[in-house]
Amino acid sequence: MEVTITKLNHEGKGITKIDNKITFISNILTKEVADIEITKEYKKFNLGKVTKYISTSDSRVVPACPYYGVCGGCNIMHMSYCAQLDFKKDKVKNILEKYAGIVTDLEIVPSDKVLNYRNKVTLHISNNKVGYMKEGTNEVINIEKCLLLDNRLNEEIDNISDKSSDSYVIRTNGSDVISNEKNDYLIMNINDYKFRIDIKSFFQVNSYICGLLFKELESNLDTTNNVLDLYSGVGTLSIVSSKKAKKVLSIEVNKNSYMNAVANLELNGVNNVDFMCGKVEDLIDKISVKPDVIITDPPRSGMDKKTINVIKEFLPNKIIYISCEAMTLARDIKLLSEHYTLNKVKCFDMFPNTYHVETFCVLERKF
């Protein structure tokens, strides 16, 4: 059946209505006209795919990846990079307006690389195949080269000898490589900082954008007394903020990240940061010193209600919220809106060719 796409959803899928039922279609752009077929039917919506393009957008490009449309890794490689940035900016703006009631202008900072930017990859292994999951299935597609990966990671794929596990993680700093088989650690050099990380620790996958985020944090921190850093990983944001703060207290649940964070204090000559290992929701109400600034960089699920309620009790002057999921970001900002005004929103394209985007927000306390 022939359809015209009216808009895109937050995952970059085209939206149309068939028999009054919303249908989401991959690999199509706003205002494009195409013949499609329904691939899956659900109670409230359908999924479809294009069988023939009738009219295409000027923003459409030919995806460089031979696996595109089969592998579930990239979602919007059929958009020009300029269109990708516009999509992500509009996505965050629309989500904040719809779910947080906030109308705001924002900018998006592009990545220096659209391809070969990832410093980490998790590969799946099944039936001697090494690669990614076929979209919507548990079937592994054998990948010889992923265009999103740093070239050192692609070189390492050919060297995988242990195919006994279900997954294989590789990480690089551009020269050295660690993996499941070589579970050592790397030193990541970002701006003037050095960070020790191992294969199990969280670290941003785009080193260039990571450096810009650090600069953004520095520029939005005034000289202050106490900073509380939630979900602190290997201590990156704590160490960056230690230059402006008298004292920084950080909470991280992952033991590997916690151990690396402690090592990173010595690596960077920092002596005004203390780390706590455990869940944020278990430890935040045990903090005796009221923070002046809270930095939070939670997982995609956002912050839990207890954490938000304790933040409301602390009432710090400023909250810096960094998020990779705009939906939960909007939800949490809405819950904090009684006491805080969103004064700044800036997007960073941490994940080119995917619908994901990193968002940096500054919330100021209402007095």
- Lookup: tokens for 320: 């810096």
Whether the Cβ atoms of residue 157 and residue 123 lie closer than 8 Å to each other: yes
125 bridge partner residues: 130
Q: Mapping DSSP to helix (H, G, I), strand (E, B) and coil, where does residue 66 land?
A: coil
Question: Which of 65, 210, 324, 361 is labelled catalytic?
Answer: 324
Residue 265 CA from chain centroid, whole number: 25
Give dist(CA 242, CA 188) in Å, integer.
Answer: 18
Whether the Cβ atoms of residue 87 and residue 77 lie closer than 8 Å to each other: no
**φ, ψ (nearest 5 deg) of residue 54:** -100, -40
Give dist(CA 357, CA 88) in Å, integer.
Answer: 7
277 noted as active-site residue: no
Strands 129-133 and 14-18, sheet pairing: unpaired
Q: Give the DSSP H/E element, type plus range, for residue 332.
A: helix 326-336
Cβ-based neighbours of 167, under 8 Å, separated by 6 or more: 122, 123, 124, 125, 180
Mark out the alpha helices in 36-80 (DSSP H runs). none
- Of 159, 189, 183, 161, which is closest to residue 171 (Cα–Cα)? 183
Catalytic residue numbers read 324
